[in-house]
Chain A
């Protein structure tokens, strides 16, 4: 629903999903308060149901019952279906069945509580190569069977999936808003000056700084950045980070430090950033060009940057 004569931007910030959730919307104070409350509730409900790190979450229940037929909620089935779509779209590069590999790599608890240096021992034997194809989803009967030993982790797509849901709610209030789930951004419309929202792009080598300003074109866009600068650490003397290459089950070896991707949907942007990061700059761009309206900024480990033509026009170096 469009709003008229709105000049004020109301903002909100809270902690959830192991990160900072924040956003702004141009509307009146009453509508803003209402939608903020609803969104906070929606985000926290999502976290309680689908976090791998919460023992009482529905996802943990599913993981604990590997090998058995589990009836799941409509929400989880929708999320699992989205995960399978993502897996197909990326030809297996973004795979939610890498949970065991994450644990093996060292990401066995929420990053908030994870020490970056740990000497605890882990079973480092390679996990069997299982993929989303091994997961039996029966959408009609809403049942799921995951193979014994598999640990599903929906963190790779969860924020994007949730952001697309939040957009539906925000759009009912205003066409002009932005929302961020831990740095995965959705922008729509314009700011108080009638200009496209300016999105700062974090410098992956100096995280308190921005390296670019990005001004998305008209419409609603998802913008996500994926990199190896955060959620990393040292375990038993070995460096690790949380971007797992499902082809090897190991932290991805890539020539990229960070990728910022822009796409019509938040989930698509999230997935595009991860896929390019894992594939590397050359193959990642090849994959990206197959998808209409997907744009990317790639910062490589040799400090050079690569961008799609359209993205170049949207960036302002800082």
Chain B
């Protein structure tokens, strides 16, 4: 069963006009379960009417310290607005961890994190983890913010960068003044020119992690692909508006950029063929208005007891070899489906039925 924990809020801090930073601990003083950087938890606040429904939030703290869990949450909509009413000491139900959008220092030797807004939260955990482990992974963060007034965790990233010589950070400010005197800040959006300028000829050897709103993700994927980055090297997590909704692609769909038109034609033909077979199978099964009596399998004993409420056992304890052979899969009607048709004893075999 999925681990579930009772926790309490230990701090709730407004990092910006639209972002709150939430820290929770376990009242028994124990650590939270093991998790991987980039995973998320489901939280529910049982004492707050509007916050009882469970929602998922990325963990921004590092798995190197599990004494508390930290979350960065953007205020948007009625649910997250209600988070402002939380108080330290309030109980929290925590379930998880979940998610496959994870950073593995051993696997992702050279990683680029591209964040749009609050999508930066899983990257905070990833970068903090690599730094805590003193790993020598080559890390680059591109963080797109609207303005420096609404740019959570920038100061903490700067502090981490001082401790991690293998981390580079670039903050793209799309709307508002750019801090002077630092080469880490640029005006405008993250684009192909900026990526090439920072990453140079290492573009092809990087693993790219993308997280942000859907439009941002789409633009970034298009930009990276335009630079020749393989979709296999791109890992994505999309944050929806309001509650955090994720779309993960653990196994990126291979691009067919270099396939010959002959292979593509064969694939298209195969897909069309499958769809047609599927449609035929389903259309053939549309119930007709005429009553069709079931075929009785003569190998089984018909159950003549119409009262399906009986609990009398029908035990077939003889050895059976009928469980797998498709040729013998000639099922009679399921007894509990149509009350007007007498139930018929069907072969005992694995079959998942609508419930």
Contacts and interface: CB of A to CB of B under 8 A. Distances in A.
Bound together: yes
Interface in B341-355: 348-355
A227 B321 contact: no
A15 B355 contact: no
Contact of A225 (B317, B321, B354): B354
Contacts of A9: 319-321, 323
Interface in B281-330: 281-287, 294, 308-321, 323-324, 326, 329
Contact of A133 (B44, B315, B318): B44
A198 B322 CA distance: 10
A317 B287 CA distance: 19
Given A91-B55, A133-B46, A227-B354, A11 B282 contact: no
Interface string B235-263: 00000000001111111000000000000
Given A19-B336, A191-B323, A159 B53 contact: no
Nearest to A37: B315
B1 interface: yes
Nearest to A196: B324
Interface string A66-96: 0000000000000001101101110110000
A231 B336 CA distance: 9
Nearest to A229: B354
A116 interface: yes
Interface string A200-226: 111111111111011000000001111
Contact of A183 (B277, B320, B351): B351
Nearest to A92: B53
Contacts of B248: 289-290
A22 interface: yes
Contacts of A231: 355
A181 to B, nearest CB: 9
Contact of B317 (A12, A159, A318): A12
A164 to B, nearest CB: 9
Nearest to A84: B4
B308 A226 contact: no
B355 A225 contact: yes
Contacts of B100: 290, 292
Contacts of B335: 20
B313 A318 contact: no
A225 B352 contact: yes
A252 B277 CA distance: 29
Interface in B77-122: 93, 95, 98-100
Given A11-B320, A89-B42, A178 B99 contact: no
B331 interface: yes
A9 B348 CA distance: 11
Nearest to B248: A289
Interface string A9-27: 1111111101110111000
Q: Size range of the interface on B?
A: 35 or more
Interface residues of A, number: 91
A172 B323 CA distance: 21
A258 B284 CA distance: 17
B222 interface: no
A195 interface: yes
A214 B318 CA distance: 25
A286 interface: yes
B54 interface: yes
Contacts of B266: none
Contact of A191 (B247, B324, B332, B351): B324
B351 A303 contact: no
B334 A207 contact: yes
A192 interface: yes
A216 to B, nearest CB: 9
Contact of B1 (A44, A82, A213): A82
Nearest to B238: A286
Contact of A210 (B275, B316, B321, B331): B331
B313 A15 contact: yes
A289 B275 CA distance: 23
Nearest to B313: A14
B333 interface: yes
Interface string B199-241: 0000000000000000000000000000000000000000000
B251 A309 contact: yes
Nearest to A226: B355
A210 B326 CA distance: 10
Nearest to B93: A88
Contacts of A16: 311
Given A10-B318, A199-B351, A230-B355, 7 more contacts: A13-B315, A19-B355, A85-B1, A88-B44, A184-B355, A206-B285, A289-B248
Interface of B: 1-2, 4, 42, 44, 46, 52-56, 93, 95, 98-100, 245-251, 274-275, 277-279, 281-287, 294, 308-321, 323-324, 326, 329, 331-339, 348-355
Interface of A: 8-16, 18-20, 22-24, 29, 32-33, 36, 40, 44, 81-82, 84-85, 87-89, 91-92, 110-113, 116, 131, 133-134, 159, 178, 180, 182-185, 187, 191-193, 195, 197-211, 213-214, 223-227, 229-231, 258, 260, 267, 286, 289-292, 299, 303-305, 309, 316-318
27 contacts: A11-B316, A13-B348, A15-B311, A16-B311, A20-B336, A81-B4, A82-B1, A88-B93, A92-B54, A112-B336, A133-B52, A159-B355, A182-B355, A197-B323, A200-B351, A202-B334, A202-B351, A206-B287, A207-B337, A208-B331, A208-B332, A211-B281, A224-B355, A225-B352, A230-B354, A230-B355, A305-B282
